[in-house]
Copies of this chain bind each other. A is one copy, B any other.
């Protein structure tokens, strides 16, 4: 994975190397702003990030390629022995976080810290985006099961795997992705597609064939030709199963007016005394649509959510960035650094985030401070790596899922509404504010009014 990076990370590192710039530096990874209709992020990506930092290296094939790109021998030799040796502080996966809060803080020789930027952002931006979106879908479902169903429209192989993991942490009950089921030990779900129905001369024959093979877990897809006619046929098959002492799991509706169809299908099932048969719906669902369906009283038991969750379709990227916040001077002391680009100002210095809770345990506000300040809240950044070695026990997936659930439960309801949620207060400590202002003046003097 050494080469899975932007070319400029390597040119910068070559320039650092060539100019004998080996000092230690600190970078913050944070997300600049909330997408529309979002009011928090559910942070995911730490496990992959730490795996990468422990294993990043350059093969001879990589070095030959880089030589062809004009890099010099001494730098290539440096890369040949490259290992990440830095210190990493991070917020645990499954934590609710907000804009501008450092999620990862890397202190390492500047070449090492620089080189890892692209991969870290790629990993955290996507997974945090998906988990944040999925937690909204789960919240909208009001306790009814949400299954992640989107592999066919998710971005690539690794993308599909990450969506399954991130959405499971965020509260989904499982996935349709079988490889994710194996790799992450996530429950897998699914029964049949339209093609299965269409492959039989008659719809009811398809239902009977499936129920024969999976009598205990049949959810029959009833909309291939007509939802209501399909429901009547499902009821016939359910009765045939009952005669053998087995209950039909339920039916799936994948098209048409889901409110009207689910109500009419429920009536048909109830008319046949199939009260325990569940209605599972799918097709273009997201948190907005699920809310509409439930508000309209659709008698739906569970939701299969694919494309719009697996691509975070209403906002398919996060503005996660990775910014230098301090470097070590020749004297060995750390000098805070900031960027002034229009609309992209950053917070200087090594930082910590403290979370304050209300009396009932719910989250009240966060304060971003300098790392050496003390505050009364709970510090969110913990040390996870020292000298390139893991100092943190990676929690198993189900523990991360539970932790995310607790975090979401502690976030006051008002921040979890679909639209127009208020801003959760994230303050900047007095000391950090003072540093920011004075540094801003100093840079403005040095870099803007004097150009040489």
Question: Does the CB pair B255–A341 fall under 8 Å?
Answer: yes
- Which of chain B's residues have a CB closer than 8 A to the CB of A123? 156
Binds B, one of A61-69, A271-279, A366-374, A410-418: A61-69
Bound-state CA distance A371–B104 (Å) is 57
Question: Does the CB pair A178–B12 fall under 8 Å?
Answer: no
Question: Does the CB pair A193–B153 fall under 8 Å?
Answer: no
Question: Does the CB pair A4–B177 fall under 8 Å?
Answer: yes
Question: Does the CB pair B12–A126 fall under 8 Å?
Answer: no
A324 at interface, CB cutoff 8 A: yes
Other A-B contacts than A14-B214, A194-B323, A229-B448, 15 sampled, CB-CB below 8 A, are A3-B181, A7-B189, A8-B176, A8-B190, A16-B196, A25-B199, A69-B188, A117-B195, A118-B151, A126-B156, A126-B159, A153-B319, A156-B156, A159-B159, A313-B316
Question: Does the CB pair B443–A225 fall under 8 Å?
Answer: yes
What number of copies of this chain does the assembly contain?
A: 2
Bound-state CA distance A3–B184 (Å) is 13
Q: Bits for A222-265, please: 1 = Cβ < 8 Å to B, else 0.
A: 01111001001100100000000000000000111000000000
Bound-state CA distance A66–B121 (Å) is 35
- Which of chain B's residues have a CB closer than 8 A to the CB of A223? 341-342
Query: How many residues of chain A get a CB closer than 8 Å to chain B's CBs?
Result: 114
* Closest B residue to A14 using CB positions: B213
28 A–B contacts, CB within 8 A, in A order: A3-B179, A3-B182, A4-B151, A4-B157, A5-B151, A5-B177, A5-B178, A7-B189, A8-B176, A8-B193, A9-B190, A10-B178, A11-B210, A12-B210, A15-B192, A16-B199, A19-B213, A126-B154, A156-B158, A158-B159, A194-B323, A204-B452, A225-B447, A225-B448, A229-B447, A229-B448, A233-B452, A307-B317
